[in-house]
Copies of this chain bind each other. A is one copy, B any other.
Amino acid sequence: MISVQEALHKIREHCTVRPPVLLPLHESGGFVLAENIAAPTDSPHFNQSAMDGYAFSYDDWDGNSDLTVSGEVQAGNNYSEPLNPHSAVRIFTGAALPSGTDTVVIQENVLKKNGSICIKDSKIIKGSNVRLTGSQTRKGEIVFQEGHLLTPASVAYLAEFGIQKVSVYSKPVISIINTGKELLHQGEKREAGKIYESNSFGLRAALEQMHISPDSVEMADDDERAIEKAIRNRLRSDILILTGGVSVGDYDFVTSALEKCGVKLVFHKIRQKPGKPLYFGVLGQTLVFGLPGNPASALTCFYEYVSEAISCLTKKTYFKRIHLPLAESFSKKPGVAVFLKGKINGNTVSVLANQESYKLNSFASADCLIELDEAMDRINTGDLVRVLQI
């Protein structure tokens, strides 16, 4: 058995970043850039008024006299006439400053009189209310580096530059195989001793949270040959997730079937609760996770390990970790890491009831997993704990 940290380290060691793909900018939100992007122009690419008002030349103005309003420029227009001395141009937010002007007085700070204005603004300085060319980004400067997450604001910013396509890391191909002789398909008649397959539902929904649709979801008959065949069919996935059959019971066929398919064991079993029997192996670039069959264990292992692998493949952090004070004290045995279903309440986090690995009723309402390290024993009220927001 290894520690959580060793397990994560071994998973990361075996991850290869997914190949880049070129996407239209409007589809690129939520992906991670696979290239540096240099600014093709200054931003803004012309001197812009930040307000509705009047543009004028600060040095030409004596600080007192009225200025003749000699024209008007709307956003989107280009004012090309030469500027007369002692004059101003009516201007609107976003409009390009007429040549010769460098300062904007806002409309609320002028007195209008018969085609001229008197500026009533004691705080005005040269350049007031002007967004200077390149004041956000200079042409040629790196806007975003490879590895940058394309947040909505990032996508909007690239749109401002007229950039239409970006190279991003593509999504991984993920296959799910559920095993277990006790499993019924949805719609089948309930039978003594059998249960409806549910892990694929949780895993699919968790992948959809990450904006990833699994490539395939299937159920293998719980004998070694059938499991082996199902595995072989999916060994070209980036990530193959199996559920069930990874304990050491006499009928747990998954690990031996994986071995027969040539999957190299990397680790099996972690000092953690839930999810102790987690299996991880590789074949070429395919990462294979054998999750425990208990639904709460399977989902916990997904959030803690599979999503971490997907993060490595796509360079994206899907679920955020923060530190919050624990709302009530909690005790655990040292020597085993514990993941608890938790609920964030503003500025604290609470441990939910019903933490057993076969129960989903509290997990259903959880918005985080509280991650308690192996060495911890008692955590007092108010102590900071690490939580993974799910």
Contact = CB atoms under 8 A, between A and B. Distances in A.
Interface of A: 25-26, 28-30, 41, 44-46, 48, 50, 52, 73-79, 92-96, 131, 136-137, 143-144, 148, 150-162, 164, 180-184, 186-187, 190-206, 208-209, 211, 222, 247-251, 293, 295-296, 299, 320-324, 344, 346-347, 354, 356, 358-361, 363-367, 384, 389-390
B159 A201 contact: yes
17 contacts: A26-B200, A29-B201, A29-B204, A45-B195, A48-B358, A74-B181, A74-B182, A75-B180, A94-B195, A95-B193, A151-B205, A151-B390, A153-B295, A154-B360, A156-B201, A156-B299, A162-B184
Given A52-B248, A151-B205, 14 more contacts: A25-B186, A29-B206, A30-B205, A30-B208, A94-B182, A151-B365, A151-B367, A152-B205, A152-B390, A156-B199, A156-B299, A320-B367, A321-B346, A322-B344
A182 B358 contact: no
A209 B152 contact: yes
Of the candidates A154, A320, A346, A356, the one having the most CB atoms from chain B within 10 angstroms of its own CB is A154
Given A136-B358, A389-B320, A152 B94 contact: no
B136 A361 contact: yes
Given A164-B186, A295-B156, A358 B195 contact: no
A211 B345 CA distance: 24
A153 B364 contact: yes
A25 B195 CA distance: 16
A322 B321 contact: no
A192 B144 CA distance: 26
Contacts of A206: 29, 152
A384 B348 CA distance: 12
Contacts of A367: 151, 320
A190 B160 CA distance: 11
A184 B46 CA distance: 15
A50 B151 contact: no
Contacts of A28: 205
A224 to B, nearest CB: 14
B164 A187 contact: yes
Contact of A347 (B144, B161, B322, B346): B322
A75 B361 contact: no
Contacts of A251: 74-75, 92
* 5 A-B pairs with least C-beta separation: A29-B205, A156-B202, A76-B182, A76-B181, A323-B347
A322 B346 contact: yes
Contacts of A76: 180-183, 193-194, 222
A275 B360 CA distance: 42
A75 B193 contact: yes
Contacts of A93: 247, 249, 293
A304 B204 CA distance: 30
A197 B164 CA distance: 12
Nearest to A358: B131
Given A196-B162, A198-B160, A363-B153, A323 B295 contact: no
B92 A29 contact: no
A358 B193 CA distance: 63
B320 A155 contact: no
B360 A204 contact: no
Contacts of A366: 151, 153
Contacts of A209: 29-30, 152
Contact of A354 (B136, B148, B186, B199): B136
Given A44-B358, A76-B181, A198 B157 contact: yes
